[in-house]
A and B are shown apart, each in its own frame.
Chain A
């Protein structure tokens, strides 16, 4: 089975993670622009970070046979440094049009302050102007209200709910998100957000329509194999395979595909695009093409390959 992890901060992960993910069947990842664990103090560090998302990290992923996409935005935590946030807003347009940028994100509320609200709205406007999708981070604290508010503001600004992904859902938020026509993403965190066991129950109850899961693995204790592991549990608990595929692969593609930047053929073709670029660049006089490692075979569902 193939998997997409539509929310994972690979910059903070090791090559071991990339290898294990590829071996477990993860073919594509989306890396939202986020904070780095402590607040940045200069716009230059934002520029370098965003550059690495569209540049080095994308290349690094390709070395492991994984397609890397990203979302670009000003995260809610750092929106609270209003002076710096204004500077960041000025440089976002430099990056939003780049290849592999599938949405404005992750944006939204953290403490639900005035500053967060201001920059959330400004970025929704940017998405409207550029015809882009939006990936919304919902807050840890006062979650239900924060999630409702995120959707209220998006609709008020004129966004189509079908072009907005509401992330980090739980049992308390999912019904409203689905009722209002947004995409509902769930982060599988063993402790704080949503465990695999709970996710199985949600899938049983709500089905697979407009629902998908991600790991949100970052520099904290988190699990980059959360998507394939949860898929295994769903299969073990008897969920239909087509539902599992939808929740762990197809729906993420359906949600982010309309960006025009993420296509299934990107990973179904045998070489990652960047390596093809090398091929293209040297096809005439060079037999000694750059080493392109065979992509790992997509494993049939085999739990022995997964670390429990």
Chain B
């Protein structure tokens, strides 16, 4: 099944009956070719018809979702968001039309709609078409919109060039968003990002402001030379979380100096062997 079919299946059981009839009528109009103006009118009023309750997927449903589209994680979606994405996909004949309609919808969108359209990115036809749109979402000052692109969304890690990817990670730290929900965070690590993050940490330290321990997750593999002094600082003066973050990060470094530093502070690695779980726990214990 395609992810759009999977989505349609969920809506068939999760929408209240009154909304089912409305949606069936919309789909009928969409697949037989709906005029732009009628389509936008219909989309603007989605939440008035289907409400904003959670889509509330079970683990089995989530598994079916990611089987149909690797990396797709709609656990946080609401009903109106799911319907918007479904209607947009159902109404379009191809990437070109989808791209035009998506841009038009975003140009007149309220916050909840923007969140929906950005969350839908991994489902639209001809994936590379939407990289600029996604980068626009990353530039948003509305954090909930930024996170619609950045969190539990495989699109950026698949389609962003390195510069755009690095901006996404850095912006997450800037706005106080956790890094753990960013799909592909480990896979897309790169030396330039590590350098940007270290500079950012130094800026924060210079201003006596806290640095998210998660930052070091993207630095670890490239920890060498002067960066090791930053890690030494974490071990010596950091909070317990920062010390743990330093140890988790250094486990991935290849530099011999990093191994020696880690050896010196072997007692810190109190957590289990699964690094990504440990990082997530680190995120969730922060206040």
A contacts, CB < 8 Å to B: 47-48, 50-51, 54-56, 58-59, 90-91, 93-100, 260, 274, 277-278, 280-288, 290-291
CB-nearest residue of chain A to B141: A56
Cβ proximity bits B73-85 to A, threshold 8 Å, 1 near / 0 not: 0011010000000
B24 within 8 Å of A (CB atoms): no
Q: How many Å lie between the Cα of A94 and that of B109 in the bound state? A: 9
Q: Shortest Cβ distance from A74 into chain B, in angstroms?
A: 15
Q: Is the CB of A94 within 8 A of B41?
A: yes
Q: Is the CB of A285 within 8 A of B280?
A: yes
Other-chain contact of B143, A50, A99, A290 (Cβ < 8 Å): A290
Q: A93-B44, A280-B76, A287-B284 are in contact. List 19 more A-B contacts (CB 8 A).
A: A50-B108, A51-B109, A54-B110, A55-B111, A58-B110, A96-B44, A97-B48, A99-B110, A260-B48, A274-B111, A277-B115, A282-B151, A284-B75, A287-B283, A288-B178, A288-B283, A288-B287, A290-B176, A291-B176
B70 within 8 Å of A (CB atoms): no
Q: How many Å lie between the Cα of A217 and that of B287 in the bound state? A: 39
Q: Is the CB of A287 within 8 A of B177?
A: no
Q: Is the CB of B110 within 8 A of A286?
A: no
Q: Which residues of B contact A288 (CB under 8 A)?
A: 178, 283-284, 286-287
Other-chain contact of A286, B47, B113, B114, B178 (Cβ < 8 Å): B178
Q: Is the CB of B110 within 8 A of A55?
A: yes
A–B Cβ pairs within 8 angstroms, 10 of them: A50-B108, A56-B142, A98-B110, A98-B113, A280-B78, A282-B76, A282-B178, A285-B283, A288-B286, A290-B176
Other-chain contact of B108, A51, A56, A100, A287 (Cβ < 8 Å): A51
Nearest first, the 9 closest Cβ-Cβ pairs linking A and B are A97-B45, A287-B284, A54-B110, A97-B44, A281-B76, A288-B286, A59-B142, A94-B108, A98-B110
Q: Which residues of A contact B54 (CB under 8 A)?
A: 280
CB-nearest residue of chain A to B214: A288
Q: Shortest Cβ distance from B30 into chain A, in angstroms?
A: 17
Other-chain contact of B110, A48, A90, A93, A100 (Cβ < 8 Å): A100
Q: Is the CB of A278 within 8 A of B141?
A: no
Q: Is the CB of A94 within 8 A of B40?
A: yes
Q: Which residues of B contact A50 (CB under 8 A)?
A: 108
Q: Is the CB of B108 within 8 A of A286?
A: no
For the complex, count residues of B whose C-beta is within 8 A of A.
Answer: 37
Cβ proximity bits B92-130 to A, threshold 8 Å, 1 near / 0 not: 000000000000000111111111000000000000000
Q: How many Å lie between the Cα of A282 and that of B151 in the bound state? A: 9
Q: How many Å lie between the Cα of A1 and that of B76 in the bound state? A: 36
CB-nearest residue of chain A to B54: A280
Q: Is the CB of A277 within 8 A of B151?
A: no
Q: Which of A93, A95, A97 has the most CB of B within 10 A?
A: A97
| Interface SS of chain B | helix
Given the contacts A93-B41, A290-B176, A291-B176, A47 and B151 also touching, CB distance less than 8 Å: no
Q: How many Å lie between the Cα of A281 and that of B112 in the bound state? A: 12
Q: How many Å lie between the Cα of A93 and that of B36 in the bound state? A: 12
Other-chain contact of A278, B45, B78, B143, B283 (Cβ < 8 Å): B143
Other-chain contact of B144, A56, A98, A277 (Cβ < 8 Å): A277
Q: Which residues of B contact A47 (CB under 8 A)?
A: 107-108
Q: Which of A90, A93, A260, A286 has the most CB of B within 10 A?
A: A286
B285 within 8 Å of A (CB atoms): yes
Q: How many Å lie between the Cα of A48 and that of B108 in the bound state? A: 7
Q: Is the CB of B180 within 8 A of A285?
A: yes
Q: Which residues of B contact A284 (CB under 8 A)?
A: 75
Q: Which residues of B contact A283 (CB under 8 A)?
A: 76
Other-chain contact of A95, B44, B114, B177, B285 (Cβ < 8 Å): B44
Cβ proximity bits B271-287 to A, threshold 8 Å, 1 near / 0 not: 00000000010011111
Q: How many Å lie between the Cα of A58 and that of B176 in the bound state? A: 21
CB-nearest residue of chain A to B38: A93
Q: How many Å lie between the Cα of A59 and that of B143 in the bound state? A: 9
Q: Is the CB of B41 within 8 A of A99?
A: no
Other-chain contact of B111, A58, A90, A97 (Cβ < 8 Å): A58
Q: How many Å lie between the Cα of A99 and that of B49 in the bound state? A: 11
Q: Which residues of B contact A285 (CB under 8 A)?
A: 180-181, 280, 283-284
Q: Which residues of B contact A274 (CB under 8 A)?
A: 111, 142, 144
B187 within 8 Å of A (CB atoms): no
Q: Which residues of B contact A281 (CB under 8 A)?
A: 76, 115, 144, 147, 151
CB-nearest residue of chain A to B119: A281
